[in-house]
Amino acid sequence: MSDIASLGDLRGKRVLVRSDLNVPLDGTTITDDGRIRASVPTIKALVEGGARVIVCAHLGRPKGAPEAKYSLAPVATRLSELLGLPVAFADDTVGPSAQAAVDALADGGVVLLENLRFNAGETAKTDDERAEFADALAGLADAYVSDGFGVVHRKQASVYDVATRLPSAMGGLVKTEVDVLKRLTEDPERPYAVVLGGAKVADKLAVIDNLLGKADRLLIGGGMLFTFLAAQGHEIGKSLFDADSVEACKGYLERAKERGVDLVLPVDIVVGKEFSADTETAVVDADAIPADAMGLDIGPRSAQMYAEKLADARTVFWNGPMGAFEMAPFAAGTLAVAQALVDATAGGALTVVGGGDSAAAVRQLGFADDQFGHISTGGGASLEYLEGKDLPGITILEATA
């Protein structure tokens, strides 16, 4: 893939940058600006090169029409603070406000367009349906930089189609993400441990399937672990459970044993009667969850065991919290895994936090980004890469290089 240098001298050129600025909001307050901060280096490099920078991104899941709660206006304010320079904000994407803002750009200036998904053409399923919107976006610029790793697994107008219409390159963020993922999939340093959590086992089945041939250890936590416990014939009470995935989990347990992969499940569970921070809690053996209780975190013995399984790892990928970390009584498992990754990083291991809830968890629990080898900005994209899938936003850059 071509990087920004391949585009030549960009001074005075209009450069459309597809960033990932899909940050969590509480009203108009940004509660985690990690993705904005990750987008700054590429934008700053273009600014310093004298380009006229047009940033585009999405926020949330609007249905192809404007919705005030999904406006990128708060993001423009925060981006301006992080860049240390004014960021103009267009209140549409390809309409008169956007055109006027782009026309007004000076060399080194920045404008952020309103939410791409306020336009139905952004996420339309066919090339023809996306074409008009892609043409309009491309018409604003002289060159295109793909720097939103969190969306490169989507075949969308701003991710895929624009790259066929303009001289295109990957930004620094995307390059870093791809380089790290290649280290996870192409001859990783061993022992190679993967920690998978989160709510739904179905979301991770393809990843488990692919990694059973590559990882040395696979540690399972979060809501998905209960489908594995059910596959072993254990009572799981009112815990999260995916009946359709039980047979697949049985198969993975067998394959792990056949291939010598250490597939690790908790030995104890923190349970509660309700999904609430105020519920009465207890620690029980993993094969003895009461019928009227639900599992909400891995237990203390499991947390210690998981930390020990990670202690000598040279490569670690983690996606998905170990429990309901947003509630203090059920955060200890996730905290233990995060600390184990920090310790492994200090010992020289490559540690990768796979975006999404995992990234939110480590920040909420008080860890700094630089305590880990890499925190991905794209949970879904990372997982699809590890599944072995082609990512449209990457393949199109390779094809047009």
The pLDDT tens digits of the residues spanning 25-57 come to: 999 999 989 899 999 999 999 999 999 999 999
| pLDDT tens-digit series, residues 234-279 | 999 999 999 999 999 999 999 999 999 999 999 999 999 999 999 9
Hey, what amino acid is at 107? D
Q: Which residues pair with 284 in a beta bridge?
A: 269
| pLDDT tens-digit series, residues 143-166 | 999 999 999 999 999 999 999 999
SS3 content of the chain, % helix, strand, coil (to 5): 45, 15, 40
60 annotated as belonging to a binding site for a ligand: yes
Contacts 24+ apart (CB under 8 A), 178-185: 178/1, 178/149, 178/394, 180/350, 180/352, 180/373, 180/374, 180/376, 181/382, 181/385, 181/386, 183/315, 183/350, 184/315, 184/317, 184/350, 184/352, 184/386, 185/214, 185/385, 185/386
The answer, yes or no, to whether residue 333 has pLDDT greater than 90, is yes
Hey, what amino acid is at 17? V
What CATH number matches the domain at 4-170, 1.10.1740.10, 3.40.50.2300, 3.40.50.1260, 2.40.160.210? 3.40.50.1260
272 annotated as belonging to a binding site for a ligand: no
Give the DSSP H/E element, type plus range, for residue 79: helix 73-83
Query: Do 355 and 375 contact (CB within 8 A), yes or no?
Result: yes
pLDDT band, residue 82 (cuts 50/70/90): very high
**The pairing of beta strand 315-319 with beta strand 350-353:** parallel
pLDDT band, residue 1 (cuts 50/70/90): low
The neighbour count for residue 227, using CB atoms within 10 Å, is 25
Tell the CATH topology of 178-387.
Rossmann fold (3.40.50)
356 annotated as belonging to a binding site for a ligand: yes
b/e per residue 305-342 (b: at least 16 CB within 10 A): bbbebbeebbbbbbbbbbbbbebebbbbbbbbbbbbbb
355 annotated as belonging to a binding site for a ligand: yes
- DSSP conformational letter for 118: G
105 annotated as belonging to a binding site for a ligand: no
pLDDT value, residue 379? 83
357 annotated as belonging to a binding site for a ligand: yes
pLDDT value, residue 121? 97
What's the first-to-final CA gap in the chain, in angstroms? 6
User: Could you give the residue numbers annotated as active site?
Assistant: 35, 200, 356, 380
pLDDT value, residue 291? 96
In terms of C-beta density within 10 A (0-12 exposed, 13-18 middle, 19 or more buried), how is residue 2 classed?
Answer: middle
> Which ranges in the chain are annotated with CATH 3.40.50.1260?
4-170, 178-387
The answer, yes or no, to whether residue 86 has pLDDT greater than 70, is yes
| pLDDT tens-digit series, residues 336-393 | 999 999 999 999 999 999 877 888 899 999 999 999 999 998 888 998 998 889 999 9
CA dihedral 122, 125, 126, 127 (to 10 degrees): 30
Mean pLDDT within 169-188: 94
326 annotated as belonging to a binding site for a ligand: yes
35 annotated as belonging to a binding site for a ligand: yes
- Percentage of residues in the chain having pLDDT higher than 90: 89
148 annotated as belonging to a binding site for a ligand: no
Mean pLDDT of the chain: 95
